[in-house]
Amino acid sequence: MNEENLNQDMSSEKKYWKSAEQLKENSPVVDALEQNEFVEHIPTDEFLGDKENLESSKTSRRDFLKYVGFSTAAASLAACEGPVIKSIPYVVQPERLVPGVADYYATTIADGFDFASVLVKTREGRPIKIESNKDATSMTAGKPRVHASVLSLYDIKRLQNPMVDGQSSSWTSFNKEVRAKLESTTKKIVLLTQTFASPSTEQLIQEFSDKYNNVEHVVYDSVSATAALDAFEKTYGLRALPNYDLTNAKSIVGIGADFLGDWLGGGFDAAYSKSRVPKEGKMSKHYQFEANMTLSGANSDERFATKPSDQKQVLVEIYNQIVGRVASTNLSEAHQEAVKKAVKSLKKGGKHAVLLCGIEDVDAQLMSLAINEALNSELTNIENPRMIRQGDANKVSQLVKDMNSGAVGALIMSGVNPVYTLPNSDEFVSGLEKVETVVDFALTMDETAKLSTYVGALPHYLESWGDVRLTYQDYSLVQPTIKPIFNTRHFQECLLDWTDNSLSYYDYIKAGFTKRHDGMPWNHTLHDGFYQVDSVFQPSIDASFNANAAAKNLTKSTSSGLELTLYTKSGLGDGQQANNPWLQEFPDPITRTSWDNYLTISRSDAEELGLENKNVANGALNGSYANVTVGNTALQNVPVYIQPGQAKGSVGLALGYGKTESIQEEMQVGVNAYPLYKDFNAVQEVKIEKASGMHEFACIQLHNTMMGRKDIIKETTLEIFNTKDKDYWNKTPQVSLDHIETPVDSPDVDLWNEFDRSIGHHFNLSIDLNACTGCGACVIACHSENNVPVVGKSEIRKSRDMHWLRIDRYYSSKETLIGDYEKKENIKGLGSALSEFGELEKPSEENVEVVFQPVMCQHCNHAPCETVCPVAASAHGRQGQNHMTYNRCVGTRYCANNCPYKVRRFNWFRYNKNDEFDYHMNNDLGRMVLNPDVTVRSRGVMEKCSMCIQMTQLSILEAKREGRPIKDGEFQTACSNACDNGAMVFGDINDKESLVAQKKEDERTYYLLEYLGTKPNVFYHTKIRNTNEA
């Protein structure tokens, strides 16, 4: 502000100043500043005044103009010419590789957290998609993380060379130096690794131990399963995890176990879904006692919000009632009721019943094993336990102590990142300084690698050889699907080198395989990717645990404060793939929030603490910050998310966020919750206080309830489904025609003439709301198949997400949606409408019910979007697909406005090769994941689900080429292919024998917003909830 003007213009004598200097009379500094536009003198004279220099310069003004003129002319000329495109064929083309035709390889992901048999689709030698290995006997893919792992292969932050002292090195010198160190050390050598579950690696580590004396192998799982492992070992004599097959389940009771999430490595959902679809009027009954709202709770028939300390009481009470009375419990009346119901159901289910307990406590795990033994549960598969977690938390704690005492000479790590994941990371770091030689094998220069002298660059699993023992009987092989992109080597290869073994790791695995499984064909097994051995686990049952003492231990722990349950999200998991933009943008199935972790809290607790969630004008969600303290560790500014269904007195926080090393700036989101994971116990007592400021969430669905709107979700109970007519619970909507109610599917009320679709293929997609667990595998599969761009947090916040397929999550406030519906129907008069609608809108505190509904383009036969497009960019095909022609689209967005399902997505920006969106599409490495058969869309065009027309067209072409009719099951979309649960079925309804044609005739079939008369080609199956007593 100019001081002089102020003095003249203003009537008062008030003086404003920015600096004390201004108060002085005739200050030279102030004068100078006021007179000059720029604070410093611009050195024009130094440049132009130097005549000599100017004259000696070879560039005259004329030259300058010439250059400008020439470059302008050249640029405009160049613009007239089309670009010259080069094509470089192979010098020697690998046999059987045909450019343009995809090849599939069976392999296995085994990164220590996720284990699954997968099929990898490769094009021209580069993997572009992960699919489920449906033939595999155990752990077929399924999780979003597994599907997204292909993008982590093309992570630009990956280590490209082995590093010695922070400098790129060669493997020869790396191995030579490490070897010298190993041979010279007199102290013990410790191998700290992830769970490999690999027979050949075990053998190799044994050989390594034989060569170097005093070797210790410590297995470390970042998210520990120590309690379950210990309990199983104690009871059955093998360090493994119990395995459950829920296919024939009649009664499932879960206590704090998110078995549809990551509990015991996950992967129970496909079998679970089979038991949830009513067959002959029967389906499984699922009770869930849990604190955080999880996928398992969301899918249960009855969910009881139970804070962790109460979960222990519930377990003991169930033990009391099923096995025998051991201790008295202290439960609320509601919980006692619930336990009674659960016990009744378990008893009725008998050998088809199972109790799944996720309480991280050996006593609790022992009790749950005993309960299942008492039930004589056939669903617990003791003969074929899971081998995918081997970590021992106690050994890890001991190691940290040993390191600090200076007892460790060399520490060799592989596949772990303890500096980030250990709760006592500080101690580990100080211990590292006392270790003579630190070697770390890692994919990226992560927190631990940064502090290591020797860093071995690991290959991604898609570039690796390996073998994995998933369960006692089921093995799976890992084979490379691409030549290593960088100068990387396995930890195992280095072990071979250090033990003077001249075999390559591949030969080593093959030799071990041939030795262990005599007569099994290697090539054939490699092709299949998995094999099963006949010998089952023979448990030596030791039932001698002291139930009384265990129960006493469990019941005595009552807490007064808030209890925190740490969990892993189905998106990011333990945080290994934090630099994966697909996973970051993947909305959490429950909270529908991406790019964040947050403290979930119940509404009543939030109100007590003054924490709030608010939706701002454009619909985006804001939440308060809180400081979270566990013992003497505090996390500052954790965003708070008020979660319907969160047990009162409990809070939740996801692990795996807040990573900063070797993570692109955009992906450095959330807070690191590992420091709160004290003693590897997911349940902690916390103190929470409000902090200032509001956090901006990227939440894509307001968490209000359905308010009884039955036309979107149709839901009923098993009882009504079994006893009442279809018209009662799944009535075709009626519209008024000349004041006569007419069913909406009648031709009389149709605006359009029906087009004959009986010839050729007519594609339909069936979605069963009973089988859908909301896991989100389809969302990532769709992302990867269709080159869907990642838009980033701030764009998501503006509701500009590009997901072609979203999984809507709906809460209902009453016992069932029907209850809400009846309440809505009974509203009489304005007064009651106001109050009761308000009541419906507010999710009830604890007992909400959840429904997941995948929604993509419904491919309406009478599509509202097609009629409003001024350039006919959206048109209908005879096969039922609604075609979107990008090159025709001019971006008016009328179609999106007119779409009742809101499934059309607009490219507000160019999301590829754009520094503003610095995700995988902005670098050459990341773009290798793009599907060459699908156009990468540009700015200003509309896009949406195409029903994977590139896949159906390919199936048709293959059949034509081979001259055969198409079999049912050949037609797939990315989402239906990724759905292991059988919730999505795709096919040709003109083939009357096809599964989808049969599903369309099912009584449960309904269409989304059917009363609009859009005649969609996607249909849903009414959700049936098992509310029957037991």
Residues that bind another protein (CB under 8 A): 81-82, 84-93, 98-101, 756, 758-760, 873, 875, 877-879, 881, 883-888, 933-936, 946, 949-950, 953, 956-957, 959-961, 963-966
Which residue type, as a one-letter code, is found at position 416?
V
Least spacing, CB of residue 100 vs another protein, in Å: 3
Which residue type, as a one-letter code, is found at position 865?
C
| Pairing outcome for strands 454-457 and 437-442 | parallel
Least spacing, CB of residue 973 vs another protein, in Å: 13
φ, ψ dihedrals at 429, nearest 5°: -65, -45
Least spacing, CB of residue 999 vs another protein, in Å: 22
Based on CB atoms, which residue is closest to another protein, 762 or 1021? Answer: 762
Least spacing, CB of residue 885 vs another protein, in Å: 4
CA dihedral 732, 736, 740, 743 (to 10 degrees): -20
Based on CB atoms, which residue is closest to another protein, 83 or 838? Answer: 83
Structure tokens at 247: 């296919």
Based on CB atoms, which residue is closest to another protein, 368 or 874? Answer: 874
Based on CB atoms, which residue is closest to another protein, 685 or 866? Answer: 866
Based on CB atoms, which residue is closest to another protein, 495 or 949? Answer: 949
Distance CA 381, CA 116 (A): 18
* Maximum C-alpha span of the chain: 104
Least spacing, CB of residue 871 vs another protein, in Å: 11
Based on CB atoms, which residue is closest to another protein, 522 or 894? Answer: 894
Residue written as tokens 């994966």?
580
Based on CB atoms, which residue is closest to another protein, 329 or 858? Answer: 858
Based on CB atoms, which residue is closest to another protein, 553 or 990? Answer: 990
Based on CB atoms, which residue is closest to another protein, 51 or 992? Answer: 992
Contacts of 537 (CB under 8 A, 6+ apart): 236, 238, 240, 382, 383, 384, 385, 472, 473
Q: Are residues 242 and 373 in contact, defined by beta-carbon separation less than 8 angstroms?
A: no
Structure tokens at 253: 């009771």
Secondary structure, 3-state, 397-442: HHHHHHHHHCCEEEEEEECCCHHHHCCCHHHHHHHHHHCCEEEEEE
Least spacing, CB of residue 997 vs another protein, in Å: 15
Least spacing, CB of residue 82 vs another protein, in Å: 6
Based on CB atoms, which residue is closest to another protein, 85 or 830? Answer: 85
φ, ψ dihedrals at 765, nearest 5°: -120, 130
Burial of 686 by CB count in 10 Å (0-12 exposed, 13-18 middle, 19+ buried)?
buried
DSSP letter, residue 140? B
Based on CB atoms, which residue is closest to another protein, 599 or 966? Answer: 966
Nearest Cα to 372, choosing from 386, 362, 384, 357? 357
Distance CA 388, CA 197 (A): 6
Structure tokens at 755: 């087009």
Least spacing, CB of residue 953 vs another protein, in Å: 7
**CB-based burial, 781-815: b 16+ in 10 Å, e otherwise:** bbbbbbbbbbbbbebbbeebbbbbbbbbbbbbbbe
Q: Are residues 391 and 225 in contact, defined by beta-carbon separation less than 8 angstroms?
A: yes
DSSP letter, residue 279? B
Based on CB atoms, which residue is closest to another protein, 877 or 982? Answer: 877
Nearest Cα to 243, choosing from 256, 258, 259? 259
Neighbours of 6 (CB within 10 A): 14
Least spacing, CB of residue 877 vs another protein, in Å: 5
Least spacing, CB of residue 523 vs another protein, in Å: 24
Based on CB atoms, which residue is closest to another protein, 959 or 995? Answer: 959
Based on CB atoms, which residue is closest to another protein, 515 or 964? Answer: 964
β-bridge partners, 413? 192, 440
Distance CA 93, CA 967 (A): 33
Least spacing, CB of residue 111 vs another protein, in Å: 33
Least spacing, CB of residue 148 vs another protein, in Å: 23
Angle, to 10 degrees, between the axis of helix 308-322 and the axis of helix 362-375?
A: 30
Based on CB atoms, which residue is closest to another protein, 559 or 950? Answer: 950
Neighbours of 972 (CB within 10 A): 20
CA atoms within 13 A of residue 79's CA, in its CB half-sphere:
6
Least spacing, CB of residue 876 vs another protein, in Å: 8
Least spacing, CB of residue 783 vs another protein, in Å: 16
Structure tokens at 994: 């096809």
Least spacing, CB of residue 391 vs another protein, in Å: 46
CA atoms within 13 A of residue 806's CA, in its CB half-sphere:
26
CA distances to 207, 435, 646, 729, 1029 from 403, rounded to whole Å, are 24, 6, 40, 65, 56
**CB-based burial, 881-894: b 16+ in 10 Å, e otherwise:** bbbbeeeebeeeeb
Based on CB atoms, which residue is closest to another protein, 661 or 933? Answer: 933
**CB-based burial, 920-955: b 16+ in 10 Å, e otherwise:** bbbeeebebbbbebbbbbeeebbbbbbbbbbbbebb
Q: Are residues 1026 and 284 in contact, defined by beta-carbon separation less than 8 angstroms?
A: yes
Based on CB atoms, which residue is closest to another protein, 532 or 990? Answer: 990
Least spacing, CB of residue 645 vs another protein, in Å: 40
Based on CB atoms, which residue is closest to another protein, 156 or 934? Answer: 934
φ, ψ dihedrals at 342, nearest 5°: -65, -45
Least spacing, CB of residue 879 vs another protein, in Å: 7
Least spacing, CB of residue 198 vs another protein, in Å: 35
